[in-house]
Amino acid sequence: MANWDEALGEFLKPFVALLGHKKRRQMCPLYVAGLIGPGERKSMQPMAERLEPARYDRFHHFIADGLWDEAPLEAELARCADRLVGGPAAVLVIDDTSLPKKGSHSVGVAPQYASMLGKRANCQTLVSVTLARDEVPVALSLRLFLPQSWTEDIGRMSAAGVPEPFQAPRSKPEIALQEIDRVMAQGVRFGLVLADAGYGLSASFRQGLSTRGLTWAVGIPKHQKVYGADVALVFPVAGRGRPRKHQIPDQLSVSAETVLAEARWRKLSWRRGTKGPLSARFAACRIRIADGPPQRIHDKGQQHMPGEEAWLVGEWRTSGERKYYLSNLPAGASLKKLAAAIKARWVCEQAHQQMKEELGLDHFEGRSWRGLHRHALMTMIAYAFLQHRRLEQATGEKKPAMGTTSTDPASGPQSRPQGTLLDIANLSPLPKGHLETANLILPK
C-alpha cells in the first residue's frame, strides 16, 4: 500500500470538489484517512489526536454542524459504486445493521432487535443498501430507522436534529424502497434485488419491487401463505339467496412450510468457504403468493386472494434448520440458479462487519441525525476506496470502467467460490496468493 494517501487523495477529488468551502475540502480527506488509518478507536476525538490534534474543533464541525449538503456526495458514491461493480450481473442487497448504544439521547436509540447480537438490545438500526458483484460489495446507503418511541415524540426528534421530512413514521421496507428509487435515479445498474425475511415478509415491499419492474429474491417466514400455481378463481355456489358477486380461489392457501414438507430436496453447493464447499439441500416449486386483497372465503373469514406467481424455495441446512424464500425469477430458472441467487446476500454482512471492525462505523459518539449520517457516509466512501484499491491490485493496473461484463443475474456473483483468486476486470484466474477476495487492503 505504498503511497496509499496519494491514492486516497486522487480517489476523493470528485467528492471534495462537491464540498465548496476550503476548510470542508480539507476536512473530508482527513476524516476518511482517519477511518482507514491505524488506531483502535475511530470516533472523532481519537482520530483528531492521531492526525491533527489542533484541529479537533474543525473535525467536529465538519461532521456535526457544518452547513453542507450530503446529497451530492451520496450521488457521487453511487456513480463510483456503479463504475466499480455495477452491471446486469450485480445484485442490490437490502438489509439492516445495528449499532449498540448506551443511554437514550443518541438519535434513534431504543431497545430493539439487534441483528449482530441476535436479540433485543439498546441500539440504533441502519437500513442498508449494498451493490455487489463477484463477491465485491460496495455500500451505497445507510439510513437510520426511527422506532415508534421516537416518532411519537416530536420534541425528542427536534432535539436530535431529525429533519421534518424524516419525522413521520416509516417502516424499514418503506425506507428501503425509497433508497432503491434514489440509487436507480442515480443510474446504478443491477440485475437482482435481495433481502432477508425482515423485508421479504412485507407484501408491500415485494409488490413495490415488482411494480418497479425489478427481479427479486427475498426470505420469508415459514408460515407465509401461498396457493398452488394452478389456483383458479370461481364463483361459489349459493345455497340460497342471491348469486355470489365475488370470485374466490378454488383451493385454500397453506403455509410455505407445508407446501415443501413433502418436496424433493437436492444437495447443492453455491461457493467455496475456508473449510471447503458450502452446501445445503434445496427444493423449489411454482406458487401464487397469498398477498392479494383480503376477502371472505367460505367459513374461513378474511383471507388474502392469490397474488403474483413466483418461486417458493426451501433451504435445508446441515444444522437441520430450514429457511424459505420467494423469488420472481423466470419460471424457467433452474434450482441451482435459484439457490445461487438466494445465497448471494451474504456479501452485505461481510461489508457491515468490515465497516465496523476496520473503519469504525459503530464508533460514532455524537447524538445528532446529521452527525450519524455524515459519519456513515464518510465510512462508505472509505470502504469504496478500499474496494477500488482491491480491484486495482487484482488487475495489477489502474481499474478501467466496470459493468460491461454480462452474465446471467440469476446465477449471481456468489456462484463463484469464496476465496477464488480473480482478476475482477475480466474474471480470469490470477496467480495464487495475489488477492483474497474476502480481505480489504488496509494501510499498515
pLDDT of residue 411: 35
Amino acid occupying residue 267 = K
Q: CA–CA separation, 422 vs 426, rounded Å? A: 8
Question: What is Dmax (Cα atoms) for the chain?
Answer: 87
Instruction: Name every residue whose Cβ is closer than 8 Å to that of residue 300 and which is 6 or more positions away in sequence.
Output: 252
Q: Which residues contact 23 (CB under 8 A, 6 or more apart)?
A: 58, 62
Estimate the crossing angle of helix 4-16 against helix 22-36, to 10 degrees: 140
Instruction: State how far the Cα of 58 lies from the Cα of 80, in Å rounded to an integer.
Output: 27
User: What Å distances lie between residue 395 and 80, 178, 282, 429, CA to CA?
Assistant: 18, 35, 36, 10
137 by Cβ neighbours in 10 Å (0-12 / 13-18 / 19+) ranks as buried
Task: State the Cα–Cα distance between residues 50 and 75, nearest whole angstrom.
Answer: 30
| pLDDT value of position 242 | 65
The 3-state DSSP class for residue 271 equals strand
- The angle, 0 to 180 degrees and rounded to 10, between the axes of the packed helices 172-185 and 203-211 is 10
Residues 6 or more apart in contact with residue 181 via CB below 8 angstroms: 212
CA distances from 3 to 7, 160, 389, 440 (A): 6, 39, 12, 17
Q: Determine the Cα–Cα distance for residues 176 and 183; give it in Å rounded to an integer.
A: 11
Residues contacting 272, CB < 8 A, separation 6+: 278, 417, 418, 419, 420
Secondary structure in 3-state letters for 85-113: HCCCCCEEEEEEEEEECCCCCCCCCEEEE
Q: In the prediction, which pLDDT does 38 show?
A: 87
**Cβ neighbours around 50 below 10 Å, total:** 15
Q: Which residue has the cell 499498515?
A: 444
d(CA 111, CA 259) in angstroms, rounded, equals: 36
**3-state DSSP assignment of residue 358:** coil
Residue 267: its H or E element? strand 266-273
Q: Which three cell numbers stand for residue 347?
A: 456479501
In single-letter form, the type of residue at position 303 comes to Q
Q: Which of 349, 358, 332, 317 is nearest to 440 (CA)?
A: 358
pLDDT one digit per residue (tens) for the chain, 444 residues: 447 888 999 999 999 999 988 888 989 999 999 999 888 899 888 888 888 777 788 888 899 988 899 999 999 999 999 999 999 999 999 999 999 998 889 999 999 988 777 789 999 999 999 999 988 999 999 999 999 999 999 999 999 999 999 999 999 999 999 999 999 999 999 999 999 999 999 999 999 999 999 999 999 999 999 999 999 988 877 666 666 677 889 999 999 999 999 899 999 998 877 788 889 999 999 999 999 999 888 777 788 999 999 999 999 999 999 999 999 999 999 999 999 999 999 999 999 999 999 999 999 999 999 999 999 999 999 999 999 999 988 776 544 433 333 333 333 333 332 332 222 222 222 222 222 334 565 555
* pLDDT, position 238: 64
Q: First vs last Cα of the chain: how many Å apart?
A: 8
Cell of 94: 437490502
